[in-house]
Amino acid sequence: MTVEQIDCARHVAITQSGQEALDFLMGHRQSASTEDCPHPDLIFLDINMPAMDGWEFLEKYKKLPREQKADVVLIMLTTSLNPDDETRTKHTPEIAGFENKPLKEPQLERLLMKYFPDRF
């Protein structure tokens, strides 16, 4: 994975589905307090995830308490050639950017410089 290869993060968490990602953001259990929940700086969201696609994840993500979302930069990833996907991301305030997969090092470096210039 490119994020791990360029060693730009203290911790990288990878989930295999939208529900797994939501569970992770909620601290892996419904009774978790907001202090127990992770507060990622950056989320790469794949449009085509198994069982729950990126758009379905986003609808559930919007309903999370503000404390569980923190100030996340959310980047939508896709292999889709459908221009409607990119247009939809531009009209979705929670999504900061749209990138084609596979994510390459120059793309990642550009995103890091744009959203985290003081850390990169």
As to burial, measured by CB atoms within 10 angstroms (0-12 exposed, 13-18 middle, 19+ buried), residue 55 is middle
Name the DSSP class of 40. -
Predicted TM-score of the model (pTM): 0.81
Query: Residue ranges per domain, the chain?
Result: 2-115
Q: Under CATH, to which class is 2-115 assigned?
A: alpha beta
Cα gap 92→95, rounded to integer Å? 6
Note the pLDDT of residue 37: 63
Structure tokens at 45: 């969201």
List pLDDT tens digits, range 15-43: 888 888 888 888 765 444 545 567 788 99
List pLDDT tens digits, range 49-79: 878 889 999 999 999 887 777 678 999 999 8
What is the torsion angle, in degrees rounded to the nearest 10, for the CA atoms of residue 46, residue 52, residue 55 and residue 56? Answer: -150
